Structures are given as C-alpha cells and as structure tokens.
Structure 1
Amino acid sequence: MALDVRAISDSDLPDWLRALNTGFLRPPSAGEDEIANRRVQVAGHRVLGAFDEGRCVATYRSFPQELTAVGGAPLPANAISNVTVSPTHRRRGLLSRMIRADLAEAKERGDIVSTLIAAEYPIYGRYGFGPATWLTDWAIDVPRAGLDPRRSGQPDDADGGRVDLVDAGDVRKLGPDLHDRMRARRHGVITRDERWWQLLTGVVSVPAAPWTEPFHVVYRSASGEVEGLMTYRADDRWGDGKQPLNTVTVVDAIAVTTAAERALWRYVCSIDWITTVRTGYRAPDDLLPHYLPDPRAARVVTHADFLWVRILDTVRALESRTYANSGTLVLDVRDPASLAAGRYRLDTDASGSSCAPTTETPDLTLDVRELGALYLGDESAVRLSALGSLTENTAGAASRADALFRTSRRPWCPETF
C-alpha cells in the first residue's frame, strides 16, 4: 500500500507525537500535557506526517523565521525541525517527499533561504544544505581564571556600569528588544518568538524537560541603558572537607556591547562557591577566553557545526548581504532540485552589490550546498577547492571568492529550534 504523506489534522497530533518521540528515542506515548503544549507550539506551522495504514511513521515541521545576513539584513527563512522517520520505514524516500515539497513551497512563498540544525551530518547535504555556522562550548576553571577582584586588584565596576539581578518578568520585558538589537549586529542569528521567552522564564514548560527556575542578570551601562542579559543555573555540590565544587551553566547570554559582554562573564566567574562555568553555545571566535587573565582556564568541551543554510533564491540571497571588498565573480550553481540553479554574475563595491543571471564563463562551479556553507562568511572557497567540493575554472577565483565572502567575525547562531 502506498504511504500517505500529508499535512496533519488536529486529531492526528497524538499519533504524530508518538512517531516524533519514537524517532528521537524518547518514551513514545504523549500525555495530555505534552499534546496541549505541542498544539500551541505548532499552531500556524506547516506540519507533515507520513502514514502507513493510518499509523504515523514519519514527521516534519517547518515555520517562518528570519536569519540575519552579513551586514545585518533580515532574510525571510523557512526553518525546518522535528524531522523523523520511524526505524520500520527507513530508506523509503519519506524525508525526500516531505522536504522537497516543503522547499519548493518555501521558494514559491518568497523565502530566500531555508535553515535547520542537523542531528546527523550526512543527511542534509543531498537536499542542498551546507553547514554555515559553528559553535563552541567552554568549561571555565574559575580558580585558575584569575578574575577574583580580591586577587587581581581589578574592580568589578571599572567601566562605570553595573550588573543587577532581575526577575523573570523583567526578562520578558527587556529581552526581546535586546535580542533584536543583538541580531541586527551579528550575522547568523535567528529570530526568537514570544514562546521562546516564555520557555526561558517558566511561563510555559515542556513536560519532557522539567523546568528549574534560573537566575537572571542584566548589565546596565553608566547611563543606565540595558546592554546585556544573562540567564544561568547553578548546582549544589560539595567535596570532601566542605570544599565547594559547584558549576554554573549559562542558559543564555546576549550583549550589544563588549563592555556588557565582559562584565557579565566577569560576574558569573566571580560568584562565591562556583568552581566551573559552562558557557553554553558560543561563537568559535568568541572573545570570552581573552576576557580572562588566563585564557587557558577556558577549555573547549564542544566544537561542532550548528546552523545549516539552504539557498532558495540565489539572486536575492547574494544581493541581501554585504561584502568585504569590491569585485566580480561568476558562479555556476548546481542544484538538482532546480530551486537555486543557474549561472550568476555577482558584482560588489562600496555602494552595494548586484547579482544577475549571465551566460559568461564561470569562475567557480559549485553545488548549492557549498554556496550555503559560504554564504554567511564562515567557510573558505580555497578550502572547498582543495577538498574537491567546488571547481575553480579561473585561476585564483577561489581566493577572490574568499576576499568577497569571508567576514572578520564568524557567524553565530545561539538558538536551537
């Protein structure tokens, strides 16, 4: 019998959740609280399921998002999440049917890119996605860091600002605007909706992940303006001889100035009884280690690819970002799905950029997945050429591409979805 792939109805949601939990190796059955929570989450989203004789065996969800391009422009994006195929129905093309239809519809709607966070690396390149941002998680050995003002002689308020503890209501009031200010400055960051802040502050909880109230602090500049926000949790662990061995885990940290960023990390590394700080997902080139008198006190725990980008509209995508230098590059983009395929001439200068289809001889030939990896400025065309992942048709073209595409700071996406 043919497998039925379709948008789910409200009555399908419990079965869809059972398939989702099965795919992610969680207890399959969903309780009423989980069903109600998911019903709110997916309202207005595009939710697909594959059904075999009435039983859901694959899941898929996509929803509107904005991605900050290099230079600060917000791009309309199609975000993809909740992708599973039950173990009994692997290798039957179910993901291909769902994702190809969804990407075509996203292109038709006018989305410029599609995004996802890949649980498995090998899957999504064949659908045109490339790893566009990376993340690093550090563990800071606090006694070694040298930030204790009693030992370093450095006052906590050296820049005239201050760090204040605040409550959840303050976070919901101050956080969205602060995050919008931050994402306008940092390419790779995506939007947060109201539900994100509700989850952070306990207004909404997920039954599968019981919520523990965290601590929240803001940084205010000397003028009183809020320039940073950090949320963290702490455990309660003591060793032999009543020695504190407590760890702070940073849940979220955003800042719009280096003064705010420095002050928040200095604060969390100076809390009494804390011997380790886990930083959470930071950009690989984060300044954090160098805020410490001893940068080696920050040990890399995780370094991995994170946000993957799939170009849907090559012309609009390339015209939406800024470039480091002036130049011209002709790209021959291969795309089996024909969404972004074509030969394009990119011209950049101080006044902006233009991109248009062309019949000129290409400087570079590349798959759309490599264009996605290059798009936010993190990957190198020279590296991809050395790996055989793109073809340099004109001598030096890969180096010219790097001079245009690469950015002085690496892209960063702190959010999961």
Structure 2
Amino acid sequence: MIEIRPVEEDEFEEWQRAMYTGFLMEPVPTPDQLEAHRRQFVNSRSLGAFDGGRCVGTFRSFAQEVTAVGGAPVRSNAVTNVSVSPTHRRRGLLTEMMRRDLAAAEERGDAVATLIAAEYPIYGRYGFGAATHATAWTVDVTRSGLGSRPPVLPDGARIDLVDGAEVRKLGPAFYERLRPALPGSVDRGEVWWEARTGVLRFARDWTEPYHAVLRSASGEVEGLVTYRCEVDSRLGEQPQHAVIVDGLLGSTPAAEAALWRFLCSIDWVTKVKSGRRSPDDVLPHLLPDPRAAQIERHSDWLWVRFLDVAAALEARTYKRTGAVVLDVLDEGGPAGGRYRLEVSPEGASCTRAPGAGADLTLSASELATVWLGDGSLTRLAGIGRVREERTGAAREADALFRTPGRPWCPDVF
C-alpha cells in the first residue's frame, strides 16, 4: 500500500533521490546539492509517497509573494519539486499530494498557488492556468548594427564588474525596489541570492558567472546583469564567443538597454543569448537591426491557481471603470461560484453574487490566465474555452483586465 505523508528529517536524502529520479537527473545528488536542497527543506510542506519504505513521489511547497498588477504583494503557495517515479505513474499520487497541499494553503489563507509547469497538459486539471509567458532571443551581434563601441551612458553613470559577495549585498534591495513594477514577479529570499552567486550549488556543473552593475552618477544601482561566457576560441581564426545571460534587470527601459548594449560590446562576443525574458522586452527594438535578435523559444511560464478569488481580484489595480459577473467553475475546489467584480482606478470590489445573471462562464484556470493582464477573454471565448452569457461581455471584460505591458516572472522555482 502506498502511503502519502510529510517527509521526516531522516528521510530527506531518500526523498531527494526520488525527486532526482523523477526529473531524470543523476539519481544520487552530490554533497553540495544535498546541502543546498536541505536549506529549503520544511518537513510540514514536503510530501512524499512511500511504497514499502521507498519514496516514489515527491511534492514541496513554500511561502511566496507574487506581485499583482499595480504592485501589491499577494500571498502565494509556491509548488515545486513535483515528481512521480516512472514505476508508479498513473496511480493518482500527484492528485492526492496536490489535493492535500492546496487544502492546507487554503486553510492558511493564501490567495493563490503558483508553479512553473514542466509539461503543459498536467496542471490545468488542478485549476492552474498559464498567467505569464517568456521569450528567449539569440542576438547575432555582427548583424545587430551596434558596432563594437562601448555603450553610451547617461552623464556620470558607469558599469562595473562586481563579485558575488557584492551582488548579495546590493542585489536584494535593488530587486525589492523594482518588484512592485513587475507584475508576475515573485519575492527572492536569501537562498535565491546564495544560489545565484555560488554559495549554494543546486547544479552539478556550477560555473562562476560574471556580474555587472550599472550605477547612476550618484552611485545608486540602476541595473544588474549576471552572465556567463560560452567560449569558442579558434586559434588562428576569429573568436566567436557567446554571452549567456542568467538575469538582467534595469530600473528603467533605458537602464536595461544600456546593459544589453554593454553585453553586445564585449570583445570576441558574436552572440548574446538573452535567457527567458518578457515577451515585450526592449531587447529586439533597441537594436538598429531588430532582425538580428531571433526568437529561440517562447513558452508559458508562471502558472496560477486561485484559492481566494475575491482576494486575488481585489489585490490588483484596474485602469478603467466597469463591472462584470463571472461564473467560475472549479469542481471540488475553493474558487467555484458566481462573483460580481466592480473596478475603477480607485480600487476593486469582488463579492459572491449567486443570484446575479452571469456575463461570462469560465473555469478557474481560464480566469487565472487573465489575472495579470496577459490573456484574452475574447480569444478564449472565440475558441470555446470561455462562454459569453451576454454578447460583448468578453470584450468588455478584456478592457478591464488587460494592461499596457505584459506580466513577467524572471525566476524559476
């Protein structure tokens, strides 16, 4: 009989091996990897499926804040480390672990749950919807039109290379200053910064990266980029190195543009690989020849599941005034019901309205796709995933939910 329960301290390594097996990684973690993962381990929020004492399924969640439109932090239950061993698939293990975890999150008062989906078809079954997307570009520097000259910076501004210790000192405050302006972003704890700078090493093949800081004339941090180099040094030929960006943030579009131009100006670099960026990133458009930036991949990224519809919808801001009645379908889940959402630039009110006539009928997962302003109810209605109960309601609701810029989650968890 398979038992699903919280993982005990002395079962941590067995649980970790099962998780690595489920993700097709080398099944025995290194001591560095075990140390890094142990820093995140909380017994009460780490579930395991055990068959005769052997761990065959893993599931972990942790407290998180996700930034809503307008900058408010929303309490989230972040789901990660989800795996089932190949010998025990299709037995309902994930369904039961998910049920227990989401029930606990609802009881705690979390407004939403979040995750990054390894496979698309899995998590819609549990009420999650893709709320943000990410795009990765490769820039052919030789075609970009930028030339090899260093970027022109505002008067007195400078870009400096720094080490990991300096990033851990200045990075958290800089990120917190930016986070309210990044709908879809999540908070970063000490473990995140230590992993980014090599104090903790989750990867078996850790490579020390470069870090560069953009400072204003007054010394204030305006941008931070972490990158590695992919070396292609051909003796007697033209070097063709690539820069691999692990993360780039600027306080303004101009600051981000300055950092991208800096990366493109590095000697011997002929390609810059952007990593996952917002689909409406400044990168392609700052190049004299935007076609030099080719999309390498584009995919869904942060998935959201509503636990408290009213709390989530009231947490964000809206640019227009209007109202819509939503009939939310969530069989056996906490989000189901009929809600009247009234919004204006001054605030929002979302209340249960079981007797009101619905304007739109949609699943909890479809509602999640538009929460941060990225999805389109009109498009979803057009393909039959949202039902209009009143003609034109989808277009009117889109006008309330949509935002000028697309949401983006720069992190993986």
Q: TM-score range by the shorter chain?
A: over 0.9
1:335 corresponding residue in structure 2: 330
Contact 1:333 1:368 (C-alpha < 8 Å) held by counterparts: yes
Contact 1:45 1:61 (C-alpha < 8 Å) held by counterparts: no
1:5 corresponding residue in structure 2: 4
1:115 corresponding residue in structure 2: 114
Contact 1:199 1:205 (C-alpha < 8 Å) held by counterparts: yes
1:303 corresponding residue in structure 2: 298
Q: Give, in angstroms, the shift of residue 39 of structure 1.
A: 1.6
1:210 corresponding residue in structure 2: 205
Distance in 1 between residues matched to 2:54 and 2:151, nearest whole Å: 63
2:196 aligned with 1:197, yes or no? no
2:352 aligned with 1:354, yes or no? no
The SS at the match of 1:41 is coil
Q: TM-score, normalised by structure 2?
A: 0.97
Distance in 2 between residues matched to 1:158 and 1:85, nearest whole Å: 52
Distance in 1 between residues matched to 2:259 and 2:155, nearest whole Å: 12
Distance in 2 between residues matched to 1:317 and 1:335, nearest whole Å: 16
2:145 aligned with 1:164, yes or no? no
2:320 corresponding residue in structure 1: 325
Specify the code of the residue in structure 1 equivalent to 2:289.
Answer: D
User: Deviations 1:266-306 (Å, cap 9, x if unpaired)?
Assistant: 10010010000001110000011111111111110010001
Contact 2:57 2:83 (C-alpha < 8 Å) held by counterparts: yes
Distance in 2 between residues matched to 1:396 and 1:93, nearest whole Å: 40
Correspondence for 1:397 among 374, 393, 398: 393
2:92 corresponding residue in structure 1: 93
2:79 aligned with 1:63, yes or no? no
The SS at the match of 2:101 is helix
The SS at the match of 2:218 is coil
List alignment gaps of at least 5 residues for structure 1. Answer: none
Q: Give, in angstroms, the shift of residue 340 of structure 1.
A: 0.9
2:182 aligned with 1:183, yes or no? no
Contact 1:116 1:309 (C-alpha < 8 Å) held by counterparts: yes
RMSD of aligned C-alpha atoms?
Answer: 1.5
Contact 1:13 1:35 (C-alpha < 8 Å) held by counterparts: no
Distance in 1 between residues matched to 2:137 and 2:195, nearest whole Å: 24
- Larger deviation, residues 399-408 vs 18-27: 18-27
Q: Give, in angstroms, the shift of residue 29 of structure 1.
A: 2.6
Contact 1:68 1:184 (C-alpha < 8 Å) held by counterparts: yes
User: Deviations 1:336-388 (Å, cap 9, x if unpaired)?
Assistant: 13311111100011211111111210000010000111111100000110111
Contact 1:19 1:86 (C-alpha < 8 Å) held by counterparts: yes
Specify the code of the residue in structure 2 equivalent to 1:145.
Answer: S
Distance in 2 between residues matched to 1:147 and 1:131, nearest whole Å: 35
Specify the code of the residue in structure 2 equivalent to 1:302.
Answer: R
2:310 aligned with 1:315, yes or no? yes
Contact 2:6 2:43 (C-alpha < 8 Å) held by counterparts: no
2:223 aligned with 1:228, yes or no? yes
Distance in 1 between residues matched to 2:297 and 2:328, nearest whole Å: 33
- Larger deviation, residues 380-389 vs 215-224: 215-224
Distance in 2 between residues matched to 1:202 and 1:74, nearest whole Å: 28
Q: Give, in angstroms, the shift of residue 158 of structure 1.
A: 4.7
Q: Give, in angstroms, the shift of residue 254 of structure 1.
A: 1.2
Q: TM-score, normalised by structure 1?
A: 0.96
Contact 1:221 1:260 (C-alpha < 8 Å) held by counterparts: no
Contact 2:7 2:44 (C-alpha < 8 Å) held by counterparts: no
List alignment gaps of at least 5 residues for structure 2. Answer: none
Q: Output aligned runs, 1:32-51, within 5 Å.
A: 32-43=31-42, 46-51=45-50
Specify the code of the residue in structure 2 equivalent to 1:130.
Answer: G
Specify the code of the residue in structure 1 equivalent to 2:208.
Answer: E
C-alpha spacing 1:31/1:209, structure 2 compared with 1 (3 Å): closer
Identity of aligned residues (%): 55
Contact 1:343 1:357 (C-alpha < 8 Å) held by counterparts: yes
1:264 corresponding residue in structure 2: 259
2:268 corresponding residue in structure 1: 273
1:384 corresponding residue in structure 2: 380
2:412 aligned with 1:413, yes or no? no
- Larger deviation, residues 9-18 vs 154-163: 154-163
The SS at the match of 2:118 is coil
Specify the code of the residue in structure 2 equivalent to 1:82.
Answer: N
Distance in 2 between residues matched to 1:337 and 1:212, nearest whole Å: 46
Q: Give, in angstroms, the shift of residue 155 of structure 1.
A: 5.9
